[in-house]
Amino acid sequence: MPPTAQTYIDALQMLAHPEGGFFRETYRSDLLVEVTGDGAVRQRNAATGIYFLLEEGNFSAFHKIKSDEMWHFYAGQALEILELDTTGELRCTRLGPDILRGDVHQHMVRASTWFASRVAAGSTFSLVGCTVAPGFDFADFCLAEKAALLATFPQHGRVITELTR
What's the pLDDT tens digit per position in 64-114? 999 999 999 999 999 999 999 989 999 999 999 999 999 999 999 999 999
Q: Output the pTM of the full model.
A: 0.95
Show me where the domains of the chain are located.
5-162
Of all helices (H) and strands (E), which one includes residue 5? helix 5-11
For residue 155, how many C-alpha atoms fall within 13 Å in the half-sphere facing its CB?
A: 6
Which superfamily is assigned to 5-162 in CATH? Jelly Rolls (2.60.120.10)
